[in-house]
Amino acid sequence: MSIMGAPSASGRFGEYGGRFVPESLIPACFKLEEAFTQAWADQEFTNEYHRILTEYGGRPTPVTELRRLSEQLGIRVLLKREDLAHTGSHKINNVIGQALLTKRMGKTRMIAETGAGQHGVATATAAALLGLDCVIYMGEVDVARQALNVFRMKLLGASVVSVTSGSRTLKDAINEAMREWVASVESTHYCIGSVMGPHPYPFMVREFQRIIGDEAVVQAGEILDGGVPDYVVACVGGGSNAAGTFAGFVDTPAKLVGVEPEGGAAITHGIPGVVHGMRSNLLQDDVGQVLEAYSISAGLDYPGVGPEHSYLSSIGRAAYATANDAEVLNALQILSRLEGIIPALEPAHAMAYVMREAGKAIPLGSTVLVTMSGRGDKDAELVARILGETS
Ligand SMILES: *Cc1c(COP(=O)(O)O)cnc(C)c1O
């Protein structure tokens, strides 16, 4: 297996990944794998995917050299601008791919689960564009916390189901969406939002996100006179923007670094276990009970991580580090003031790592490409509240 090639037939990246689902879902996973493999090899499909991402999604997103920050840090920082993609993050790349696949499989409906609401809004967007019915599962607690995103999904024509079981948050919404998928698999595709879940999702979502890295390696080459950045850094929640970025650089000498939130660092602090259909690193206690993750950014507070990251870490091809809330808030303010770019809290973790390690783990004079996975508008209210409290 070449690194970041296709996983094994059973969907394994080394000892990670796999397809740990109830018997009733095995056929659906096989059919999805077959449909994706054929579609991804069909130029008509990939042309349509690229056409939509260009004409509708705003691709290619630019690479911006951060001149003022570079001067301050003593390293050269390039930013891959997924914040400029339609809907304000990289999530559009994945949902357009899965919506096109839904139609190709002859299905008329997409379901998805969402925690903070960002993946729900992205899925509803792709469903609207391609004329698919869309149902979003969301824990009752999150529905109350994320009223604006619930309204956005409804504006886009989706129905939102408030899940009242368990802790009424993301993991209960995932269970509910899985149940609904079993019940309606003939008409319905389950659109997972990151490089997670049973095979083929981690592989498929990475392929739909590799457009980030495939563009960036060429764009960085133009800026660096044919060179490659010394470091490529991205934040890791489930790990899709990082996996998509790394895929473009894995065959170059670039050092790959994923940055997790200190309170949700599944690679740094977790151990292997099985959750949500996959084997991967997981935050768990001594008896295997899954621990709650905590992060200032809702997009990163998940106790697990995509299996391919566990693999890349285990073979040493990518390194993983953490950033804490204070560092993240600081990085967000510095990037805003010095460069006029307000980052989402998730990629502010990647920036925080780069700012902390410039002149330390990242030697002075290095060139670093960071993926700016999304814009900060969605977090502005929360950041205002926190900064207002602490200043
Ligand atoms: C959802 C989200 C993330 C986390 O997802 P990954 O799969 O780890 O990329 C990161 N950044 C932004 C802006 C997001 O919306």
In terms of domains, do 251 and 317 share one? yes
Residue 244, CB-side half-sphere exposure with 13 Å CA sphere: 30
The pLDDT assigned to 38 comes to: 98
Number of domains in the chain: 2
Task: With beta carbons less than 8 A apart as the criterion, state whether 211 and 97 touch.
Answer: no
Q: Which two tokens stand for residue 98?
A: 């899965």
Residue 7 lies in a domain: no
Domain boundary among 158, 181, 201: 201
- As a whole number of angstroms, the distance between CA 223 and CA 228 comes to 9
Residue 1 lies in a domain: no
* CA triple 72-75-78, angle to 5 deg: 100
CB atoms within 10 A of CB 120: 31
Q: What residue's CA is closest to ligand 1, atom 5?
A: 237
> In the structure, which protein residues have their CB atom closer than 6 angstroms to any atom of ligand 1?
89, 91, 118, 194, 235-241, 299-300, 344, 346-347, 373-374
The pLDDT assigned to 120 comes to: 97
Residue 106's Cβ-count burial label (10 Å; 0-12, 13-18, 19+) is exposed
Task: With beta carbons less than 8 A apart as the criterion, state whether 63 and 81 touch.
Answer: yes
DSSP state of 162: E
In terms of domains, do 139 and 277 share one? no
Indicate if 113 belongs to the active site: yes
In terms of domains, do 222 and 294 share one? yes
- Do the bridges between strand 231-235 and strand 255-261 make them parallel or antiparallel, or are there none, so unpaired? parallel
Domain boundary among 172, 201, 230: 201
Compute, in angstroms, the gap from residue 236 CA to the centroid of ligand 1: 7
- As a whole number of angstroms, the distance between CA 307 and CA 309 comes to 5
Residue 4 lies in a domain: no
Q: Of residues 91, 107, 171, 255, which has the active-site annotation? A: 91
Indicate if 80 belongs to the active site: no
CB atoms within 10 A of CB 337: 12
Mean pLDDT by 10 residues, the chain (391 residues): 91 97 93 98 98 98 98 98 98 98 98 94 98 96 91 98 90 90 94 96 98 98 98 97 98 98 92 93 87 79 90 98 97 98 97 98 98 96 87 56
DSSP 3-state of 251: coil
Residue 330's Cβ-count burial label (10 Å; 0-12, 13-18, 19+) is middle
DSSP state of 53: H
In terms of domains, do 310 and 366 share one? yes
Ligand 1 atom with minimal separation from the 116 CA: 1
In terms of domains, do 295 and 335 share one? yes
Enumerate residues 6+ apart whose C-beta is below 8 A from 23. Answer: none
In terms of domains, do 170 and 236 share one? no
Q: Which two tokens stand for residue 191?
A: 């659109």
Residue 20 lies in a domain: yes
